[in-house]
Structure 1
Amino acid sequence: MSEQTKYILAVDDEPSMLRLLEISLRQAGYQPLTAKDGKEALEVILAQKVDCVVTDLHMPRMDGLQLLKEIRKTDSELPVIIVTAQGEIKSAIEAMKNGASDYILRPFDLEELELAIKRALSFSRLVVENKFLREEKTVNTGLIGNSPLMQQLTASIRQVAPEKATVLLAGETGTGKEVVARAIHAASPRREALFVAVNCAAIPHEMLESELFGHEKGAFTGAVKERIGKFELADGGTLFLDEVTEMPMQLQAKLLRALQENVIEHLGGNRPISVDIRVIAATNRNPLAAIKEGKLREDLYYRLNVFRIDLPPLKARLSDIEALAEYFLAKRRVAISDQAIQVLMGYHWPGNVRELENVLERAAIISGNQIIQPEHLPTEMLNSNGEFAATNPATHGLSMTESAQTASSNTLSLPSAVEALERELIAKALATTNGNKSKAAKVLEISERSLWYKLSQYGIG
Structure 2
Amino acid sequence: MKTVLVIEDDIGIQKQLKWSFPDYELVFAQDRASALTQLRRYEPDVVTLDLGLPPDPANASEGLACLSEILAIQPQCKVIVITGSTDNDHAIKSVSLGAYDYYQKPIDVEVLNIILARAFKLSQLEAENRALKASSISNNDIIGNSDAILRACRTVEKIAPTEITTLLLGDSGTGKEVFARSIHRQSPRVNKPFVAINCASIPENLLESELFGYEKGAFTGANKTTLGKIECANGGTLLLDEIGDMPLSLQAKMLRFLQERVIERVGGRQEIEVDVRVICATHRNLAEMVAAQSFREDLYYRISEITLAIPPLRQRGHDIIVIAKALLSKFNNEFGTQVQGFSDCAMQAMLQHAWPGNIRELQNKLKSAVILADSKLITAEDLGLKAVDALKTTTLRKVREQAETQAIRHAYTVANGNLSKTSDLLGITRPTLYALIDKYRLHDLRNTETEN
Shorter-chain TM-score: which interval? 0.5 to 0.7
Q: Once the 2 structures are TM-superposed, how far is the Cα of residue 250 of structure 1 from its aligned partner?
A: 1.5
- SS of the aligned residue for 2:195 comes to strand
Q: C-alpha deviations, 1:377-420, integer Å up to 9, x for none?
A: 21xx31xxxx32xxxxxxxxxxxxxxxxxxxxxxxxxx4xx85x
Q: Once the 2 structures are TM-superposed, how far is the Cα of residue 151 of structure 1 from its aligned partner?
A: 0.6
Q: Once the 2 structures are TM-superposed, how far is the Cα of residue 428 of structure 1 from its aligned partner?
A: 2.4
Measure the CA separation in 1 of the matches of 2:217 and 2:260: 26
- SS of the aligned residue for 2:211 comes to helix
Measure the CA separation in 2 of the matches of 1:261 and 1:311: 29
Indicate whether 1:373 and 2:379 are aligned: yes
Q: C-alpha deviations, 1:159-189, integer Å up to 9, x for none?
A: 1000001000011111100000000000000
Aligned to 1:191: 190
User: Do the aligned partners of residues 207 and 369 (structure 1) sit closer, same or farther apart at CA in structure 2, a change above 3 Å counting?
Assistant: farther
What letter corresponds to residue 290 of structure 2 in structure 1? I
Indicate whether 1:429 and 2:433 are aligned: no
Aligned to 1:342: 348
Superposition TM-score, scaled by structure 1 size? 0.54
Equivalent position to 1:364, from 363, 367, 370: 370
Aligned to 1:311: 310
Count of residues in Structure 1 that have an aligned counterpart in Structure 2:
259
- SS of the aligned residue for 2:331 comes to coil
Aligned to 2:61: none
Choose 323-332 or 225-234, whichever is displaced more.
Answer: 323-332
- Indicate conservation of the 8 Å contact 1:326/1:335, yes or no: no
Aligned to 1:131: none
- SS of the aligned residue for 2:174 comes to coil
- Indicate conservation of the 8 Å contact 2:148/2:316, yes or no: yes
Measure the CA separation in 2 of the matches of 1:370 and 1:206: 51
Calculate percent identity across the aligned residue pairs: 46
Q: Once the 2 structures are TM-superposed, how far is the Cα of residue 335 of structure 1 from its aligned partner?
A: 2.8
Q: Once the 2 structures are TM-superposed, how far is the Cα of residue 293 of structure 1 from its aligned partner?
A: 2.7
User: Do the aligned partners of residues 188 and 366 (structure 1) sit closer, same or farther apart at CA in structure 2, a change above 3 Å counting?
Assistant: same
Q: Once the 2 structures are TM-superposed, how far is the Cα of residue 362 of structure 1 from its aligned partner?
A: 1.3
Aligned to 2:179: 180
Q: C-alpha deviations, 1:280-306, integer Å up to 9, x for none?
A: 001101110121233311000000000
Measure the CA separation in 2 of the matches of 1:307 and 1:345: 32
Indicate whether 1:297 and 2:296 are aligned: yes
What letter corresponds to residue 159 of structure 2 in structure 1? V
Matches within 5 A, 1:372-391: 372-378=378-384, 381-382=385-386, 387-388=387-388
What letter corresponds to residue 152 of structure 2 in structure 1? L
- SS of the aligned residue for 2:365 comes to helix
What letter corresponds to residue 373 of structure 1 in structure 2? T
Q: Once the 2 structures are TM-superposed, how far is the Cα of residue 239 of structure 1 from its aligned partner?
A: 0.3
Q: Once the 2 structures are TM-superposed, how far is the Cα of residue 431 of structure 1 from its aligned partner?
A: 4.8
Measure the CA separation in 2 of the matches of 1:368 and 1:331: 19
Q: C-alpha deviations, 1:115-136, integer Å up to 9, x for none?
A: xxxxxxxxxxxxxxxxxxxxxx
What letter corresponds to residue 340 of structure 2 in structure 1? A
Aligned to 2:329: 330
User: Do the aligned partners of residues 266 and 336 (structure 1) sit closer, same or farther apart at CA in structure 2, a change above 3 Å counting?
Assistant: same
- Indicate conservation of the 8 Å contact 1:314/1:353, yes or no: yes
User: Do the aligned partners of residues 338 and 318 (structure 1) sit closer, same or farther apart at CA in structure 2, a change above 3 Å counting?
Assistant: farther
What letter corresponds to residue 152 of structure 1 in structure 2? R
What letter corresponds to residue 325 of structure 2 in structure 1? E
> What RMSD in Å do the two structures reach over aligned CA positions?
1.9
- SS of the aligned residue for 2:167 comes to strand
What letter corresponds to residue 172 of structure 2 in structure 1? T
Q: Once the 2 structures are TM-superposed, how far is the Cα of residue 424 of structure 1 from its aligned partner?
A: 4.1
Matches within 5 A, 1:7-406: 142-333=141-332, 334-339=339-344, 340-367=346-373, 370-378=376-384, 381-382=385-386, 387-388=387-388
User: Do the aligned partners of residues 336 and 299 (structure 1) sit closer, same or farther apart at CA in structure 2, a change above 3 Å counting?
Assistant: same
Q: Once the 2 structures are TM-superposed, how far is the Cα of residue 142 of structure 1 from its aligned partner?
A: 1.7
- Indicate conservation of the 8 Å contact 1:364/1:370, yes or no: no
What letter corresponds to residue 284 of structure 1 in structure 2? H
- SS of the aligned residue for 2:378 comes to coil
Choose 177-186 or 288-297, whichever is displaced more.
Answer: 288-297
- Indicate conservation of the 8 Å contact 2:212/2:264, yes or no: yes
- SS of the aligned residue for 1:227 comes to coil
User: Do the aligned partners of residues 369 and 190 (structure 1) sit closer, same or farther apart at CA in structure 2, a change above 3 Å counting?
Assistant: farther
- Indicate conservation of the 8 Å contact 2:174/2:312, yes or no: yes
- Indicate conservation of the 8 Å contact 2:251/2:296, yes or no: yes
What letter corresponds to residue 398 of structure 2 in structure 1? K
Q: C-alpha deviations, 1:129-159, integer Å up to 9, x for none?
A: xxxxxxxxxxx95200000001101000001
- Indicate conservation of the 8 Å contact 1:168/1:307, yes or no: yes
Matches within 5 A, 1:432-451: none
Superposition TM-score, scaled by structure 2 size? 0.55
User: Do the aligned partners of residues 141 and 269 (structure 1) sit closer, same or farther apart at CA in structure 2, a change above 3 Å counting?
Assistant: farther
User: Do the aligned partners of residues 142 and 226 (structure 1) sit closer, same or farther apart at CA in structure 2, a change above 3 Å counting?
Assistant: same
User: Do the aligned partners of residues 319 and 207 (structure 1) sit closer, same or farther apart at CA in structure 2, a change above 3 Å counting?
Assistant: same
- Indicate conservation of the 8 Å contact 1:197/1:240, yes or no: yes
- Indicate conservation of the 8 Å contact 2:343/2:377, yes or no: no
Q: C-alpha deviations, 1:411-448, integer Å up to 9, x for none?
A: xxxx4xx85xx2446652365689xxxxxxxxxxxxxx
Q: Once the 2 structures are TM-superposed, how far is the Cα of residue 208 of structure 1 from its aligned partner?
A: 0.4
Measure the CA separation in 1 of the matches of 2:372 and 2:273: 53
What letter corresponds to residue 222 of structure 2 in structure 1? A
What letter corresponds to residue 428 of structure 1 in structure 2? K
- SS of the aligned residue for 1:328 comes to helix
- SS of the aligned residue for 1:331 comes to helix
Aligned to 1:59: none
- Indicate conservation of the 8 Å contact 1:332/1:369, yes or no: no
